[in-house]
Amino acid sequence: CAHPSAKPESAVSPYACQRRTTLDNHNKIFTDALEVLAENLELCGNQGPSLAFRRAASMLKSLPAALRRLEETQHLPCLGEHSRAIIEVQHEPRPSLSVSTHISSHLSCSAPAEALINTLSHRFLFYEDISKPVSRTEASALKIIVEEAVICVNPSATVSITGGFRRGKEFGHDVDFIIKTPEAGQEDVILPAVIKRFKSQNILLYSDLQESTFDLRKLPTHCFEAMDHFSKCFLIIKLKREQETDARAGKDWRAVRVDLVAPPLERFTYALLGWTGSTLFLRDLRRFARLERGKLLDNHALYDKATNTFLPAKTEEDIFAHLGLEYIEPWQRNA
């Protein structure tokens, strides 16, 4: 039979870690609407419904082509009643006046703005700058700055870009770096030294250093941990502009958010995977490991509950293999 809808649907997995999600999104009109909603719900403290919309958007991003007819959603996972309603509204020829009020009417929104403003207030001075996306060119310029500082402190250390830029994104809200130190213990001293160097170079606008609370003897064996215990810092760095684009302001730099993490060498692979994201990809990878494989994955380790052992991994490929998953490249993890 030649009719496309009669053909068995090539199954889309409900787990993001079993889908290849590149930046080539053929369903942007739907995913944008779903993500705006998810964001609003998140700010209102509705984490559950927000996640449901994020999952729906993420699934649509992995599709090889645009949805043409609503019936095509029938065999797709991760779509609840509300997500289908959004897709339906977006499908209509007239401009959808208010997709979000449609949903907001179902879900209460308490005032969360105050908490958000509090979080941002200490960065307020640079808020305008850091709310502007960081380009790949700016990320590369920052890599040189971070690398120079790291190598100056420890010539045997190396710096890799992680986060969205490792997944091939052209823009990010920050730039994430992971530092590899070949000697044990170095991971605990490198970040304070790098911060000190940025200070002396007069390019540090803000720093929040979180010292390592990692303890190899206390690796989790009952549930994975959402936050890792590695030495890390959240920085705001002055980045010189290539050209004076804002001559009126007379400011030849912009403020950029930078995250640095320095795990112990034997934890590097798990940390790299975790910090590469995307957040939703990692969330599903962990969920898949736990529910489908009886294994616990976090930024520190991969633990097999059946054998009560930690599974070693030299590369990210090793971790996917332990989980019985096809390897998904970083640029296919944009779930």
Selected range binding ligand CTP among 62-70, 90-98, 239-247, 278-286, rule: CB under 6 A: 278-286
CA distance 169 to 133: 11
- Considering the candidates 32, 188, 252, 259, report the single residue annotated as catalytic: 259
* Residue 24 interacts with which of Mn ion, ligand CTP, none, CB < 5 to 8 Å by class: Mn ion
Contact flag: residue 173 with ligand CTP (CB under 6 A): yes
Contact flag: residue 215 with Mn ion (CB under 5 A): no
Contact by Cβ (8 Å): 241, 203: no
Q: Write down the least CB distance from residue 81 to ligand CTP, Å.
A: 28
* Residue 299 interacts with which of ligand CTP, Mn ion, none, CB < 5 to 8 Å by class: ligand CTP
Cα 330 to Cα 18, 31, 296, 304: the distances in Å are 13, 21, 21, 24
CA distance 291 to 323: 11
Cα angle 303-187-221, degrees, rounded to a multiple of 5: 15
Q: Which two tokens stand for residue 298?
A: 């976090």
259 catalytically annotated: yes
Q: Tell me which H or E stretch contains 25.
A: none
**Cβ proximity to ligand CTP, 134 vs 190, nearer residue:** 134
Q: Which residues contact 206 (CB under 8 A, 6 or more apart)?
A: 122, 123, 126, 234, 235, 236
**Cβ proximity to Mn ion, 167 vs 238, nearer residue:** 167
Q: Is 290 exposed, middle or buried (0-12, 13-18, 19+ CB in 10 A)?
A: middle
Candidate list 129, 138, 174, 228; residue touching Mn ion; CB under 5 A: 174
Contacts made by residues 211-218, CB under 8 angstroms, sequence distance 24+: 212/187, 212/188, 212/262, 214/263, 214/264, 214/267, 214/300, 216/264
Binding mask 76-115 for ligand CTP (x = CB under 6 A): ----------------------------------------
* Residue 275 interacts with which of Mn ion, ligand CTP, none, CB < 5 to 8 Å by class: ligand CTP
**Cβ proximity to ligand CTP, 17 vs 76, nearer residue:** 17
Contact flag: residue 275 with ligand CTP (CB under 6 A): yes
Q: Write down the least CB distance from residue 185 to ligand CTP, Å.
A: 21
State the pairing for strand pair 231-240/204-210: antiparallel
Catalogue the active-site residues. 174, 176, 259
Q: Which residues bind ligand CTP (CB under 6 A)?
A: 163-164, 169, 172-174, 176, 227-228, 259, 274-275, 277-279, 282, 299
